Amino acid sequence: MRDIVEDLHYEGMLLPAGSTVCVPYYSLFRSEWIANADQFDPDRWLASNPQLPQLKEMFTPFSLGKRACVGQNMAMFQMRIIAAHFVRYFDFELVEEPTFEYFFTLKPRSIVMKVKAAE
């Protein structure tokens, strides 16, 4: 939750200073404009989904700002450990050449791999 410091005009509404607002994350991703919002669908995060830009804009798994999740650093550390285990116990083979996107840093846009247990 956040307290509004000064009057805020948003889409024809006035949110007066001193009001408290919050983002209902559960309902945020169940909006009517999201296709099959109540279904588990990892494909909604594929580049071919026309709704992807709006979904990315709303996605904040650890929240933001000074009230961000206190466990964020631990979660990121655990992901590094899991990634290390994958590299140790599995073999990865590129199916096609990856594509990259250049912004402030170089980041992969598409990487397709075959994965099998290490011998």
pLDDT 10s digits, 41-97: 888 889 999 999 988 888 888 887 887 889 999 999 999 999 999 999 999 998 988
pLDDT of 63 reads: 81
Whether residue 118 is contained in a domain is answered as no
Q: Which tokens is 116 given?
A: 């099998």
- At residue 104, does pLDDT exceed 80? no
Please provide the average confidence, as pLDDT, over all residues in the chain: 86
The whole-angstrom separation of Cα 71 and Cα 4 is 26
Q: 115 lies in a domain?
A: no
d(CA 79, CA 109): 20
Q: What is the amino acid identity at position 76?
A: M
Q: What is the pLDDT of residue 112?
A: 87
**CA distance to 3, 8, 55, 114, per residue, from 14 (Å):** 14, 6, 26, 53
The per-residue pLDDT for 103 is: 65
Domain that holds residue 31: 1-59
Alpha helices (H) along 1-119 = 25-28, 52-58, 72-89
Question: Is residue 30 in some structural domain?
Answer: yes
Pairwise CA distance, residues 114 & 54, whole Å: 30
Total count of domains within the chain: 1
pLDDT at 109: 80
Which position has the higher pLDDT, 109 or 43?
Answer: 43
pTM: predicted TM-score of the whole model, two decimal places: 0.46
